[in-house]
């Protein structure tokens, strides 16, 4: 029996015992699959994948954190990434740790094709910078914006671990169910288990993207799902609640499928814009840069992060320190970068790229 105020140890295991492939769900699933396949294709048109893997996941990290009221700006993030110091505000650091957690999960998937409880724990520990693990003490509650308790997740480490084991099994079972519908079920279940004292929303949203990669639906963690959730936040909460309270799966699943479709389309547009800018920038650089300065690698480098600095050019093996500094100045001379002093450092902004990313 469900009761808002007491731990929901009766949370049913997956899969739900209802018809999932209704006409409405299948219709939404077809559109979402199509948009996601197009995104995968768009990503493949970018020659150097490190261009996408730095910039786009940062937007997801920022928005996913913002859902949890961990708020920073793109400017602060970019400066923090480019700076050699470590004195940024805690929220900026937390967003950067989110991106690292996402990367770590992504790298793990390349070697071990599994989404295990241990991986969820590591993601959580990274985001929250903690050694804590699965909740062992009672009292975790989910409240609404008025402070009223709306849900109390299961309690007892064994209870929680058993439910996570079932979730893992469900993730790795090859059934006939559409991957994207499955992702919706996985996300609800993870949030309802709520295995940690905090960080469950963010860990759960990282698992979403990793699941799509596990299933080959995406090659890179670039889907910007949290954008949709921020824009439709009340529905996100309401539909999660209605699964628990009324067994209303369909509106939840359709919500997630629409989120995938919407943000896959949005992300595809961003990628196409980045690709066009990369082509245009390459043209300008080829025509205007001294030939000893121009290289494909140099132009690609100024697309990896919106801010560049000498050290990045050196680390990429493009030039030694002094030459690297000259290269960035030359890029500024022909209008492709704009320098800016931050502390003791000079950072070079790729303004057009930044505009695409933050728009």
Whose Cβ is closer to ligand ADP: residue 42's or residue 240's? 240
Is residue 302 helix, strand or coil?
coil
Which entry of Mg ion, ligand ADP, none binds 200, CB below 5 to 8 A by partner kind? ligand ADP
Whose Cβ is closer to Mg ion: residue 68's or residue 179's? 68
Which entry of ligand ADP, Mg ion, none binds 266, CB below 5 to 8 A by partner kind? none
CA-nearest of 213, 214, 160 to 189 is: 160
Q: Which residues bind ligand ADP (CB under 6 A)?
A: 67-68, 142, 150-151, 191-192, 198-202, 204, 237, 240-241, 244
CA-nearest of 141, 140, 135, 154 to 11 is: 154
Min. distance of Cβ 43 from ligand ADP in angstroms? 26
* Contact between 68 and Mg ion per CB under 5 A: yes
Min. distance of Cβ 98 from ligand ADP in angstroms? 9
* Ramachandran sector of residue 109 (left: φ over 0; alpha: ψ -120 to 50; beta: rest): alpha
Calpha distance 51→306 (Å, rounded): 10
Residue 306, φ and ψ in degrees, nearest 5: -65, -30
Which entry of Mg ion, ligand ADP, none binds 302, CB below 5 to 8 A by partner kind? none
Whose Cβ is closer to ligand ADP: residue 191's or residue 300's? 191
* Contact between 100 and Mg ion per CB under 5 A: no
Calpha distance 206→216 (Å, rounded): 16
Region near Mg ion per CB under 5 A, out of 9-17, 68-76, 226-234, 275-283: 68-76
Min. distance of Cβ 130 from Mg ion in angstroms? 13
Tokens for 198? 């905090």
Min. distance of Cβ 55 from ligand ADP in angstroms? 22
Whose Cβ is closer to ligand ADP: residue 53's or residue 192's? 192
Min. distance of Cβ 266 from ligand ADP in angstroms? 20
Whose Cβ is closer to Mg ion: residue 70's or residue 347's? 70
Calpha distance 58→225 (Å, rounded): 12
Min. distance of Cβ 65 from ligand ADP in angstroms? 8
* Contact between 198 and Mg ion per CB under 5 A: yes
Whose Cβ is closer to Mg ion: residue 203's or residue 281's? 203
The label of the residue with tokens 């030939």 reads: 291
Calpha distance 197→244 (Å, rounded): 20
Residue 147 makes CB contacts below 8 A (sequence gap 6+) with none
Which entry of Mg ion, ligand ADP, none binds 57, CB below 5 to 8 A by partner kind? none
Whose Cβ is closer to Mg ion: residue 68's or residue 332's? 68
CA-nearest of 131, 321, 116 to 211 is: 116
Whose Cβ is closer to Mg ion: residue 98's or residue 327's? 98
Cβ contact 72:89 at 8 Å: yes
Min. distance of Cβ 237 from ligand ADP in angstroms? 5
| Helical ranges in the chain per DSSP H | 23-44, 50-67, 74-82, 90-111, 117-128, 157-172, 179-193, 200-214, 225-231, 233-246, 249-288, 296-301, 310-315, 321-333, 351-358
What residues line the site for Mg ion (CB under 5 A)? 68, 198
């Amino acid at each position: 029996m469900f009761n808002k105020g007491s731990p929901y140890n009766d949370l049913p295991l997956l899969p739900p015992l209802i018809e999932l492939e209704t006409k409405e769900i299948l219709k939404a699933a077809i559109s979402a699959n199509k948009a996601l396949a197009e995104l995968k294709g768009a990503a493949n048109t970018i020659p150097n994948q490190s261009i996408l893997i730095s910039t786009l996941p940062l937007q997801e990290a920022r928005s996913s954190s913002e859902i949890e009221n961990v708020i920073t700006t793109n400017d602060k993030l970019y400066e923090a990434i480019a700076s050699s110091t470590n004195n940024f505000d805690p929220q900026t650091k937390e967003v950067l740790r989110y991106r690292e957690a996402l990367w770590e999960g992504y790298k793990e998937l390349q070697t071990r094709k599994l989404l295990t409880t241990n991986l969820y724990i590591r993601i959580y520990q990274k985001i929250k910078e903690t050694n804590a693990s699965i909740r062992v003490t009672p009292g975790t509650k989910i409240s609404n914006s008025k402070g009223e308790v709306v849900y109390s997740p299961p309690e007892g480490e064994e209870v929680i671990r058993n439910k996570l084991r079932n979730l893992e099994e469900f993730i790795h079972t090859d059934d006939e169910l559409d991957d994207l519908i499955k992702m919706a079920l996985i996300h609800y279940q993870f949030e309802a288990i709520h295995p940690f004292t905090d960080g469950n929303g963010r860990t759960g949203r990282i698992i979403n993207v990793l699941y799509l990669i596990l299933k080959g639906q995406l090659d890179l963690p670039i889907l910007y799902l949290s954008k949709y959730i921020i824009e439709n936040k009340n529905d996100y909460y309401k539909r999660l609640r209605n699964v628990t309270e009324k067994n209303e799966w369909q509106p939840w699943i359709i919500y997630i499928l629409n989120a995938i479709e919407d943000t896959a389309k949005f992300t595809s547009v961003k990628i196409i814009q980045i690709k066009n800018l990369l082509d245009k920038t390459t043209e300008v650089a080829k025509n205007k840069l001294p030939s000893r300065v121009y290289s494909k690698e140099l132009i690609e480098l100024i697309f990896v992060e919106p801010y560049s600095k000498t050290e990045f050019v050196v680390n990429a093996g493009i030039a030694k320190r002094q030459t690297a500094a000259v290269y960035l100045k030359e890029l500024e001379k022909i209008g492709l970068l704009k320098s800016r002093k931050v502390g003791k450092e000079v950072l070079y902004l790729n303004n057009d790229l930044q505009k695409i990313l933050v728009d």
